[in-house]
Homo-oligomer: A and B are copies of this chain.
């Protein structure tokens, strides 16, 4: 250690004190005003507010700018880190500033770049937590959404879409507060778990004192080497009936909001669904298939040959029984006549300490034009769904995901323009 005593004191002061506390406090003798992390970072020699462009050279990169946010019709990645946030800001202005601050950082993250140009000053905390150094962009997508509680907290009820409200209680719900709700969400998906986690960690860090994580969940998808639909932990293919991400017409009917400030945005519904793997694994293949209404191996609807074969839930066999049982997931879901874009990830988080059973399941995520679509399906599944025997819904949240960002604009600008 070759630092002088003065330098040591500065080191200590910066390293030990909460970034939150630093807000508005002189750092290394520089007054930073009330501009929060940005100001502190600037005082420390970082420059974070330059406008940032999509990289044209980065490897495995998803473009940030566009009509829609990424992470909705972006091809599904292998990993997710999903964070539901409480806001600590108390004014619309501060929220706006937060989104303005996040926007260039999101571009940088998706470019696979460090959050900030590194300063050569080692006496301050690094501007980027650094664990993604040397990794490429890994198809990182970032999706920001606003929950119903955000509008109530910040006096924005008059611009809260009528569709944006907490989901109704469904018959078999056993929701836990620790996995439910949230003022904001960050959905980070990437082909590397460390890249996804790094993005959430750094956006939350940059918003220190403005947001706090309420709950978060990591998840994964495993893609067959030959391509095709990934299997969930019940070994069934998940996402077969999704609208094609290239079918603009269908997406406009199913996914994209077409009015108000949320136009070209979408509603995200997240459900943490525990899957009782031990019970499932004691169930006959026949019963498993009758539960889904599909064959496990091929993913074809019962009575059909191939995964994507069309099917008629009313079709009956010689004996007058439904070929796709009327208690099956597929039968009941189709019966609702509602569709959505599912983009779910499995999780395996160890064992439940009380039973020793796997703490595993599905972080179900769907995007829809209107949460009513999800509600219709869930109501149709209701108490009838044979799947209920094998799963328990533990968490739930709904977010209005902003439209995409044009260069020069920022995440959520349409909302603030509507205020």
Q: Are B348 and A228 in contact (CB under 8 A)?
A: no
Q: Are B282 and A18 in contact (CB under 8 A)?
A: yes
Within 8 A of B (CB), among A214-250: 214-218, 220-222, 224-226, 228, 231-235
Q: Are A231 and B349 in contact (CB under 8 A)?
A: no
Q: Are B348 and A218 in contact (CB under 8 A)?
A: yes
Q: Are B286 and A3 in contact (CB under 8 A)?
A: yes
Chain B residues in 8 Å Cβ range of A397: none
Chain B residues in 8 Å Cβ range of A132: 222
1/0 per residue, CB under 8 A from B, across A260-299: the answer is: 0000000000000000011001111111111000001100
A282-B17, A348-B193 are known contacts. Are A228 and B134 too (CB-CB below 8 A)? yes
Q: Are B282 and A59 in contact (CB under 8 A)?
A: no
A320 CB to closest chain B CB, in angstroms? Answer: 10
Residue from A11, A125, A281, A284 with most neighbouring chain B CB atoms (10 Å): A284
Q: Is A26 an interface residue (CB 8 A)?
A: no
Chain B residues in 8 Å Cβ range of A406: none
Within 8 A of B (CB), among A107-139: 122-126, 129-136
1/0 per residue, CB under 8 A from B, across A198-218: the answer is: 000100010000001111111
Q: Is A15 an interface residue (CB 8 A)?
A: yes
Within 8 A of B (CB), among A1-21: 1-3, 11, 14-19
Q: Are B129 and A213 in contact (CB under 8 A)?
A: no
**Once the chains are docked, how many angstroms separate the CA of A124 from the CA of B286?**
8
16 contacts between A and B (CB under 8 A): A1-B321, A11-B284, A11-B286, A19-B282, A81-B348, A122-B286, A122-B289, A124-B284, A129-B281, A131-B233, A131-B234, A134-B224, A193-B220, A201-B358, A213-B356, A215-B350
Given A126-B285, A131-B233, A215-B350; 15 other pairs, CB 8 A cutoff: A11-B284, A11-B286, A14-B282, A15-B284, A15-B287, A19-B282, A126-B288, A131-B346, A134-B226, A135-B225, A136-B225, A197-B233, A197-B348, A212-B356, A213-B356
